[in-house]
Structure 1
Amino acid sequence: MEKIPRRRQAYLYIQQRILSGDLSAGSQVSELALAKELGMSRMPVREAIRQLEVEGLVRQVPRFGTIVHSLDRAEMAELYEVREALESHTAESVAGRLTDEDLQMLSLLCKRLLQVGRQLQESTQKTFDPKLLQSFLAADMGFHMVILRAGGNRRMMKIVADLRVLSRIFATQREPHDLKIVVNVYRFHRRILRQLKNGNTQKARYWMQEHIRASRRLALESFDRRQALGEAKAAMPLALPQDLLEELNQLEAGEANKR
């Protein structure tokens, strides 16, 4: 097996620490400390940090150094607008031409959402524990990833990978998820899947747009509530499911190999 370049190792390590919340928004990123943790020189770590800066995960602050970027309200809204444009177009383009394997996977991911909802309903909890939350995120993100991958537009996939649209949205600090959110996501996914199966391009596009717009409204309402209450009190760091993070990285690596 080919050895992963040191710059790539450093990139994946720092990226995972950011998306898991281990390196939280606003915290300083120490090039020297990371190099020591990884047991490598500062050069590959510096190159990895530059790549993360291009992707918007970190930023340079004069007289302070590199810090983990924190999305403001406008940036969060922009990310959802990018998702809406890319994913609604993809849903329209793949409607009626998905493989049986893709359709089976989408159907399975819908069932997983339903299972998560039932588990929450049967429990004594009103909101997700970390394990159930990860199951929800994996099923939700997986559904969108299958559709994006089926589109086959390498440039579009590269844009999604570079901007980390999906990962930034799901790694953003949010309020606890509840049964209502699961039910809403499940219903949207079933509607989208139905139109993809039927080959109704316009309705597939419409329901994907409505789904992302509804998610955007919830995210912005949550952001506003957190600001009113104080970020530290209402925030809840969420990790990006590892398997989906790897898929995003594979998209990027595959595109890089073609250049």
Structure 2
Amino acid sequence: MTKTELQVMSQGEAAYHRLYEAIRSGDFRPGDRLREIEVAKRLDLSRTPVREALRKLESDGIVEHRPRLGAVIRTLTPSEVVELYEMRLVLERTAAQMAAKHANDAEIDLLNDLNDQIAALGDDTQQAAALNQDFHHRIYLASRNRFLLASARGLNNALMLLGPTTLDDETRIKTVSAQHARIIEAIRAGDQTAAGDAAEAHLQTSLRHRLKGLDR
């Protein structure tokens, strides 16, 4: 492989990661058309690595090619949203149960701190969404199961396609933080059944809120 090829590969990989993060953070949303020249300008990149990044995102199932439109970020159907939440429910219930068995005091205190930050945000939905992702990731880490964590990572691409966060107002943020508190309480008590039940109730509420949003 030549030096030039290595440089192009490096630029393509960098473009992929920057575009991936832009989609994950909501700068680009499901249904958005990704024109090479516009993406390149917005991310301050040249078109060749952007083209490579789009191909990789298509292979990841994040982007699809539509006739007369080109590259478009995939939009999940309502049935796909339900299927995704069903899978999340299985994984997150298990993660909460295992965290109740394995989490140490420092990990539980961190969960509590993250949740306090979420509760204090008011209507800052973007920051609440970021902290919410961290909160759930920390539960997976506390489960002490690398295979469970790998399975959760496998859902990341699909989760990006859900679109805007369901933490869309102060009331919703308060509901989520209250549900988080019940999960934390069960984990701290070492009650695996209660932790799993609390995690499942939390995901069911989130799914109902998500489906209401799709109907608007």
Q: How is 1:44-123 mapped onto 2 (pairs within 5 angstroms)?
A: 44-116=49-121, 120=122
| Contact 2:26-2:164 within 8 A present in 1 as well | no
* Aligned match of 1:188: 179
Alpha-carbon distance, 1:221 to partner: 1.2
| Contact 1:175-1:222 within 8 A present in 2 as well | no
CA distances 1:16-44 after superposition (whole Å, capped 9, x unpaired): 333344434333323455456544462x4
Q: In the aligned structure 1, how far is the partner of 2:146 from the partner of 2:93?
A: 16
Q: In the aligned structure 1, how far is the partner of 2:192 from the partner of 2:167?
A: 34
Q: In the aligned structure 2, how far is the partner of 1:54 from the partner of 1:154?
A: 25
| 2:148 aligned residue (134, 156, 163) | 156
Q: Structure 1: any 5+ residue segments left out of the alignment?
A: 121-127, 227-259
TM-score under structure 1 length normalisation: 0.69
Q: In the aligned structure 1, how far is the partner of 2:25 from the partner of 2:133?
A: 16
Letter in 1 for 2:138: V
Letter in 1 for 2:214: F
| Contact 1:96-1:198 within 8 A present in 2 as well | no
| Contact 1:95-1:201 within 8 A present in 2 as well | yes
Q: Structure 2: any 5+ residue segments left out of the alignment?
A: 1-6
How much is the aligned-residue C-alpha RMSD, in angstroms? Answer: 2.7
Letter in 1 for 2:137: M
| Contact 2:129-2:167 within 8 A present in 1 as well | no
Q: How is 1:113-152 mapped onto 2 (pairs within 5 angstroms)?
A: 113-116=118-121, 120=122, 128=123, 132-152=124-144
Percent of pairs identical after alignment? 29
* Aligned match of 1:206: 197
| Contact 1:110-1:186 within 8 A present in 2 as well | yes
| Contact 1:55-1:162 within 8 A present in 2 as well | no
CA 1:97 to 1:25, structure 2 compared with 1: closer, same or farther past 3 Å? closer
CA 1:111 to 1:76, structure 2 compared with 1: closer, same or farther past 3 Å? same
TM-score under structure 2 length normalisation: 0.81
Letter in 1 for 2:57: L
| Contact 2:128-2:167 within 8 A present in 1 as well | no
Q: In the aligned structure 2, how far is the partner of 1:12 from the partner of 1:219?
A: 27
Alpha-carbon distance, 1:98 to partner: 0.7
Q: In the aligned structure 1, how far is the partner of 2:56 from the partner of 2:208?
A: 30
